[in-house]
């Protein structure tokens, strides 16, 4: 037998239509004002008549909604929990990359609850924030509780914000804070985080946000070869080695580098895997004999387009110009032969002391020849620099070559820079990836509970 609730009120708890973790309470009945008062006291927010929302920065709304349901049932109010909210309540999840990995799920919830309390105290004006600052990848702040006069040093954001220190007075707190964070210190509270902004939106309306035009994940555009995407460097090298049996491949014990050696053992390629975009990822070197010093060396960074590298590998496969005479001086004719494709394509040619430069018409790529380095006794000194990007001081990628690098190889690279065409994928501004929590168990039927027929856990 089910006992009739002692209060003429019914509360229906459901998930928020536009904010996944938030919870809505819809109240009906002649005495709906009674649970209304209790929910408001528990920090639920009125968004419409007899409709309240629970929205928190720690995303623990389903848990606290069930706690509220238990209290309402105990007080004599009938409570209904919809299947989708029951699913969220029963869901097992945890924060990805949670910094306090030693905490249990219960302890994580306790930390989050403290962070939520700090957030609520700031939002309701109980905790006055004097200043904030950036500390690495997070935010720190200093403030004072108006009811007690105690000043606190806050560290972290959202569900990780916590009191890291306390002070006897605001003056003491501010002096200490300025000493620690003077360079990044700013007055007042920090701007709202994305989580705080979404939480505020959930508290004010149940309406879905205005529909946004569908944005493509990426747009492919045709660009000069030097501005193309880097592509898959490892796949490029594998394809080269598969197509040319006169090259042998081996990897280092740490599996960080692949070496490719021609059967003559006088030409070698070193591919450094996982190299950052602006660091050296390729080293190509030629030797007079298998045991001699290098005749010439060429390097390329990790962001170099695969179209540029493919031109380089094709030249190595042809075997043309490997044996550039060691020690032979650089002549004007050699430089002209290496850069003729650039001149023919209208690249701007300038001379500045020791530097001779060719710059693309758009100013987004260039080739530089160092006449001083070309005559230096060190034969592997970088003499040629090829770059592309916003500017020579902020390049997207760089390729360097020593004085005796074959002019035919450099001419092939120049031809590719001047006339090669590739593609680049661009992501429209504002496109963001969304993430979800955990995995969901099967849904269960809606639960209607009365004071004597509540669902136990």
Which has more confidence, 3 or 129? Answer: 129
Percentage of residues in the chain having pLDDT higher than 90: 61
74 pLDDT above the threshold of 90? yes
426 pLDDT above the threshold of 90? no
Nearest one of 287, 288, 284, 268 to 399, comparing CA atoms? 284
Query: What pLDDT band is residue 136 in, cutting at 50, 70 and 90?
Result: confident
pLDDT for 319-370, tens place per residue? 754 544 444 556 788 899 999 999 999 999 999 989 999 999 999 999 999 9
453 pLDDT above the threshold of 80? no
pLDDT for 96-106, tens place per residue? 778 888 888 88
CA within 13 Å, CB half, 193: 18
Query: What pLDDT band is residue 448 in, cutting at 50, 70 and 90?
Result: very low
pLDDT for 234-267, tens place per residue? 999 999 999 999 999 887 656 688 999 999 989 9
pLDDT for 157-207, tens place per residue? 999 999 999 999 999 999 999 999 988 899 999 999 989 998 998 888 676
User: Pairing between strand 78-81 and 10-15?
Assistant: parallel
Contact 307, 294 (CB under 8 A): no
Query: What pLDDT band is residue 118 in, cutting at 50, 70 and 90?
Result: very high
The vertex-162 CA angle with 160 and 166, nearest 5°, equals 165
408 pLDDT above the threshold of 80? yes
Distance between CA 85 and CA 36 in Å, rounded? 20
Query: DSSP readout, 163-189?
Result: EEEEESSHHHHHHHHHHHHTTT-EESP
437 pLDDT above the threshold of 50? no
Mean residue pLDDT across the chain: 85
Distance between CA 390 and CA 279 in Å, rounded? 17
User: What pLDDT does residue 253 have?
Assistant: 59
User: What pLDDT does residue 379 have?
Assistant: 73
Query: What pLDDT band is residue 142 in, cutting at 50, 70 and 90?
Result: very high
In degrees and rounded to multiples of 5, residue 282 shows phi and psi of: -135, 140
Distance between CA 403 and CA 382 in Å, rounded? 7
Q: What is the DSSP letter of 13?
A: E
- Burial of residue 27 (CB within 10 Å: 0-12, 13-18, 19+) is buried
- Region 436-441: what's the mean pLDDT? 32
Distance between CA 197 and CA 64 in Å, rounded? 20
Q: Tokens standing for 420?
A: 């090669």
Q: Tokens standing for 130?
A: 């004097």
Distance between CA 63 and CA 106 in Å, rounded? 11
Distance between CA 357 and CA 362 in Å, rounded? 14
Judged by average pLDDT, the poorest of 82-91, 229-238, 376-385 is: 376-385
The span from the first CA to the last CA of the chain, in angstroms, equals 21
436 pLDDT above the threshold of 70? no
Q: Tokens standing for 10?
A: 């019914």
Q: Tokens standing for 364?
A: 């987004």
- Burial of residue 129 (CB within 10 Å: 0-12, 13-18, 19+) is middle
Judged by average pLDDT, the poorest of 34-38, 98-102, 377-381 is: 377-381
Element (H, E) at 125: none
Q: Whose structure tokens read 């992501």? A: 427
- Region 380-400: what's the mean pLDDT? 90
Element (H, E) at 88: helix 83-90
pLDDT for 279-314, tens place per residue? 999 999 998 888 888 889 999 999 999 999 999 999
User: DSSP E strands: which ranges in 29-72?
Assistant: 45-48, 51-54
Query: What pLDDT band is residue 378 in, cutting at 50, 70 and 90?
Result: confident
Burial 409-428 (b: 16+ CB within 10 A, else e): bbbbbbbbbbebebebeeee
User: What pLDDT does residue 455 have?
Assistant: 35
Provide the CA 210 distance to its chain's centre, in angstroms. Answer: 26
- Region 33-51: what's the mean pLDDT? 92
User: What pLDDT does residue 213 have?
Assistant: 53
- Please report, for the chain, how many H helices and E strands are present, in that order: 11, 23
pLDDT for 14-30, tens place per residue? 999 888 889 999 999 99
């Amino acid at each position: 037998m089910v006992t009739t609730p002692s209060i003429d009120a019914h509360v229906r708890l459901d998930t928020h239509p536009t904010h996944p973790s938030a919870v809505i309470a819809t109240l009906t009945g002649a005495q709906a004002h009674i649970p209304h008062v209790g929910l408001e006291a528990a920090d639920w927010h009125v968004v419409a008549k007899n409709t309240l929302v629970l929205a928190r920065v720690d995303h623990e709304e389903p848990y606290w909604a069930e706690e509220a349901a238990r209290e309402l049932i105990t007080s004599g109010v009938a409570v209904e929990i919809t299947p989708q909210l029951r699913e969220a309540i029963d869901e097992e999840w945890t924060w990805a990359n949670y910094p306090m990995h030693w905490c249990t799920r219960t302890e994580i919830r306790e930390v989050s609850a403290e962070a939520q309390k700090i957030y609520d105290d700031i939002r309701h004006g109980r905790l006055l924030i004097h200043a904030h600052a950036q500390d690495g990848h997070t935010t720190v702040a200093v403030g004072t509780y108006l009811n007690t006069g105690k000043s606190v040093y806050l560290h972290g954001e959202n569900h990780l914000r916590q009191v890291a220190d306390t002070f006897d007075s605001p003056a003491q707190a501010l002096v200490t804070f300025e000493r620690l964070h003077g360079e990044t210190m700013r007055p007042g509270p920090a701007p709202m985080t994305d989580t705080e902004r979404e939480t505020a939106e959930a508290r004010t309306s149940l309406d879905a946000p205005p529909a946004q035009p569908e944005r493509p994940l990426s747009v492919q555009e045709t660009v000069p070869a030097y501005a193309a995407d880097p592509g898959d460097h490892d796949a490029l090298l594998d394809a080269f080695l598969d197509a040319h049996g006169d090259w042998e491949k081996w990897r280092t014990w740490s599996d960080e580098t692949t070496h490719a050696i021609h059967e003559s053992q006088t030409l070698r390629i070193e591919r450094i895997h996982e190299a950052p975009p602006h660091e050296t990822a390729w080293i190509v070197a030629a030797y007079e004999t298998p045991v001699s010093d290098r005749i010439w060396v060429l390097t390329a960074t990790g962001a170099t387009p695969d179209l540029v590298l493919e031109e380089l590998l094709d030249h190595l496969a042809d075997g043309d110009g490997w044996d550039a005479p060691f020690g032979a001086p650089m002549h004007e004719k050699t430089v002209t032969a290496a850069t003729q494709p650039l001149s023919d394509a209208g690249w701007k040619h300038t001379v500045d002391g020791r530097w001779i430069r060719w710059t693309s018409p758009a100013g987004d790529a260039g080739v530089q020849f160092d006449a001083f380095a070309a005559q230096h006794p060190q034969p592997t000194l970088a003499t040629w620099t090829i770059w592309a990007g916003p500017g020579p001081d902020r390049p997207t990628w760089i390729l360097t070559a020593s004085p005796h690098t074959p002019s035919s190889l450099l001419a092939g690279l120049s031809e590719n820079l001047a006339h090669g065409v590739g593609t680049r994928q661009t992501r429209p501004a504002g496109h963001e990836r969304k993430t979800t929590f955990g995995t969901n168990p099967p849904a269960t039927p809606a639960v209607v509970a009365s004071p004597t027929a509540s669902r136990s856990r």
